[in-house]
Amino acid sequence: MAFFGLFSKEKKEKLNQGLEKTKTSLFSKISKALIGKSTVDDSFLDELEEILISSDVGIGTTLKVIERIQQRVARDKYINTSDLHTLLRNEMVNLMEENAIQPSLSKDFTSIGKPYVIMVVGVNGVGKTTTIGKLANLFRNEGKKVVLGAGDTFRAAAVEQLRIWSERSGVGFIAHGMNTDPAAVAFDAVKKGVEEGADVVIIDTAGRLHTKVNLMNELSKIKRVVAKIIPEAPHEVLLVLDASTGQNAFEQARQFTAVTDVNALALTKLDGTAKGGVVIGIADQFKIPVKYIGVGEGIDDLQLFNKTEFIDSLFKS
């Protein structure tokens, strides 16, 4: 309470103005009683906990964030609402920060020889094929030459689905039909990419639950086969995660990484009400950057991931 005297009237007014702006967010609910205290009050932390967990951030990561906030507040004291907002956002951005460089489409190709091979993996129904369709379009719009490999030879009509996407964006397409060896498809797609001087080869794979050992081993095989043509390939193993998936996404990341060294994530279906907060914990724990987000069914509805925007979106109702 003694700290209250340290605040000038002016400062308080400023603070009130600040409160106005964020009225609809979590921060409006932080009582002014917070000011000048060296701890954040429980009701704020409860609120924060609820918001984070409700966004699928998960208990572990949530507690980590809360702990860091408490530490910072204890150290810095005199914190006002907008400071707290910034602090919170920074702490969360930091969780994802270790993931090095922000992805840039063109950067990927200059340092690495042609073609840049992307292998797309994930469980059933997350939107792998759709993401590939959009990715192909994205690269095509940048003037890149693209080849798609229809490696989902299992799900009914998956090859057909990818073929339609390849036609929409006018890119190359390799398929062996249904129930063929996906590794052979991948091999031929990369081979075609090399022969025709393509910039990017994207290989689709069948959705598989990470608990199916044989199917997971099949992925390693596809990866090995591709490396026979280009030793560094696939340069990118893109794990596609559905934003509405809960804590199971952790296991998905763990298992797919174990067999294919996943080095990029795509988060799909963010145009719904699901927040996809689970990727924060995943990015933190596995040090894998989120590269793309899917925000709709249209061919242009794929965006580069932006950490700050993403984290801010967690706090919008």
Partner 1 sequence: MFESLSSKLEKAIKTLKGQGRITDINVAETVKEIRKALIDADVNYKIAKQFTDNVKAKAMGEDVINSISPGQLMVKIVNDELVAHLGGDKQDINLSGSPAIILMSGLQGSGKTTFSGKLAGYLKSKGLTVMLAACDVYRPAAIEQLRVVAEQIKVPVHLDTETKDPVKIANDAVQKAKEIGIKVLIIDTAGRLAVDTEMMNEISRLKSSLNPSEILFVVDAMTGQDAVNTAKAFNDVLNFDGVVLTKMDGDTRGGAALSIKSVVNKPIKFIGTGEKLDAIDLFYPQRMAQRILGMGDIVTLVERAQNIYDKEEAERLHKKLTQDKFDFEDFLNQIQQIKKMGNIKDLVSMIPGVGKAIKDLDISDDAFKGIEAIIRSMTPQERKNPDIINGSRKKRIAAGSGTELPQVNQLLKQFEDMRKMMRTMNKMQGSGKGMRMPLGR
- Of 232, 179, 180, the C-alpha closest to 201 is 232
Q: Rule CB under 8 A: is residue 292 a binding residue for partner 1? A: no
Task: Say how many C-beta atoms besides its own lie within 10 A of residue 19's C-beta.
Answer: 16
Residue with tokens 């719904």: 272
Task: Say how many C-beta atoms besides its own lie within 10 A of residue 186's C-beta.
Answer: 29
Backbone angles phi, psi at 282, to 5 degrees: -65, -45
CB 119 within 8 A of CB 238: yes
Q: Rule CB under 8 A: is residue 70 a binding residue for partner 1? A: no
Q: Rule CB under 8 A: is residue 140 a binding residue for partner 1? A: no
Residue 51 Cβ vs partner 1, minimum distance, rounded to whole Å = 9
Q: Which is nearer to partner 1, 190 or 243 (CB)?
A: 243
Tell me how far apart the alpha carbons of residues 191 and 208 are, in angstroms, rounded to a whole number: 25
Among 43, 248, 306, 308, binds partner 1 (CB under 8 A): 248
- Evaluate the CA torsion angle 266, 271, 272, 274 in order and state its sign: positive
Q: Rule CB under 8 A: is residue 125 a binding residue for partner 1? A: yes
119 Rama class: left (phi>0) / alpha (psi -120 to 50) / beta: beta
Among 27, 109, 139, 165, binds partner 1 (CB under 8 A): 165
Q: Rule CB under 8 A: is residue 300 a binding residue for partner 1? A: no
- Of 178, 148, 153, the C-alpha closest to 163 is 148
Count residues near partner 1 (CB under 8 A).
46
Q: Which range of residues in 29-37, 125-133, 145-153, 284-292 is near partner 1 by CB under 8 A?
A: 125-133
Q: Which range of residues in 87-95, 122-130, 256-264, 308-316 is near partner 1 by CB under 8 A?
A: 122-130
Q: Which range of residues in 107-115, 154-162, 185-193, 284-292 is near partner 1 by CB under 8 A?
A: 154-162
- Evaluate the CA torsion angle 126, 88, 101, 99 in order and state its sign: negative
CA distances from 308 to 86, 90, 111, 268 (A): 11, 9, 27, 17
Q: Rule CB under 8 A: is residue 31 a binding residue for partner 1? A: no
- Of 210, 208, 150, the C-alpha closest to 177 is 150
Q: Which is nearer to partner 1, 226 or 240 (CB)?
A: 240
CB 152 within 8 A of CB 163: no
Q: Is 317 exposed, middle or buried (0-12, 13-18, 19+ CB in 10 A)?
A: exposed
Q: Rule CB under 8 A: is residue 110 a binding residue for partner 1? A: no
Q: How many residues does the chain have?
A: 317
Residue 23 Cβ vs partner 1, minimum distance, rounded to whole Å = 23
Q: Which range of residues in 54-62, 217-225, 257-265, 304-312 is near partner 1 by CB under 8 A?
A: 54-62
Among 140, 144, 275, 307, binds partner 1 (CB under 8 A): 275
Q: Which range of residues in 3-11, 48-56, 97-105, 137-145 is near partner 1 by CB under 8 A?
A: 48-56
Subset of residues 193 to 222 that bind partner 1, contact rule: CB under 8 A: 209-212
Q: Rule CB under 8 A: is residue 58 a binding residue for partner 1? A: yes
Residue 238 Cβ vs partner 1, minimum distance, rounded to whole Å = 16
- Binding footprint of partner 1 on the chain (CB under 8 A): 50, 53-56, 58-59, 123-127, 130, 133, 154-158, 160-161, 163-165, 178, 209-212, 242-249, 251, 269, 271-275, 278, 297
